[in-house]
Amino acid sequence: MTLNTQIASRSFKSCLMNAAGVHCQTSDELDDILNSQAATFVTKTATSHARNGNPEPRYVGHLHGSINSMGLPNLGIDYYLEYLKEIDRSDVFLSVTGLSKEEIYQVLHKVQESSFDGLIELNLSCPNVVGKPQTAYDFDLMDEILAEVFNFVDKPLGVKLPPYFDLVHFDQVAGILNQFPLSFVNSVNSIGNGLWINDQSVAIKPKQGFGGIGGAAIKATALANVHAFYQRLNDSIAIIGTGGVATGRDAFEHILCGASMVQVGTALMTEGPQIFERLDQELSEIMTSYGYHNLKDFRGQLRYIEE
Q: So which residues are the catalytic ones?
A: 126
Distance of CA 113 to CAs 13, 92, 157, 194, 226, Å? Answer: 29, 17, 14, 38, 32
* DSSP of the chain: ----EEETTEEES-SEEEPTTSS-SSHHHHHHHHTSS-S--BPPPB-SS-B--SPSP-EEEETTEEEE-----B--HHHHHHHHHHHT-SS-EEEE--SSHHHHHHHHHHHHHSS--SEEEEE-----STT---GGGSHHHHHHHHHHHHHH--S-EEEEE-----HHHHHHHHHHHTTS--SEEEE--PEEEEE-EETTEESSSGGGGEEEEEGGGGHHHHHHHHHHHHHHS-TTSEEEEESS--SHHHHHHHHHTT-SEEEE-HHHHHH-TTHHHHHHHHHHHHHHHHT--SGGGTTT-------
Residue 245 and residue 264 in contact, taking contact as beta carbons nearer than 8 Å = yes
User: What DSSP string runs through 170-221?
Assistant: HHHHHHHHTTS--SEEEE--PEEEEE-EETTEESSSGGGGEEEEEGGGGHHH
234 vs 114: CA distance, rounded Å: 29
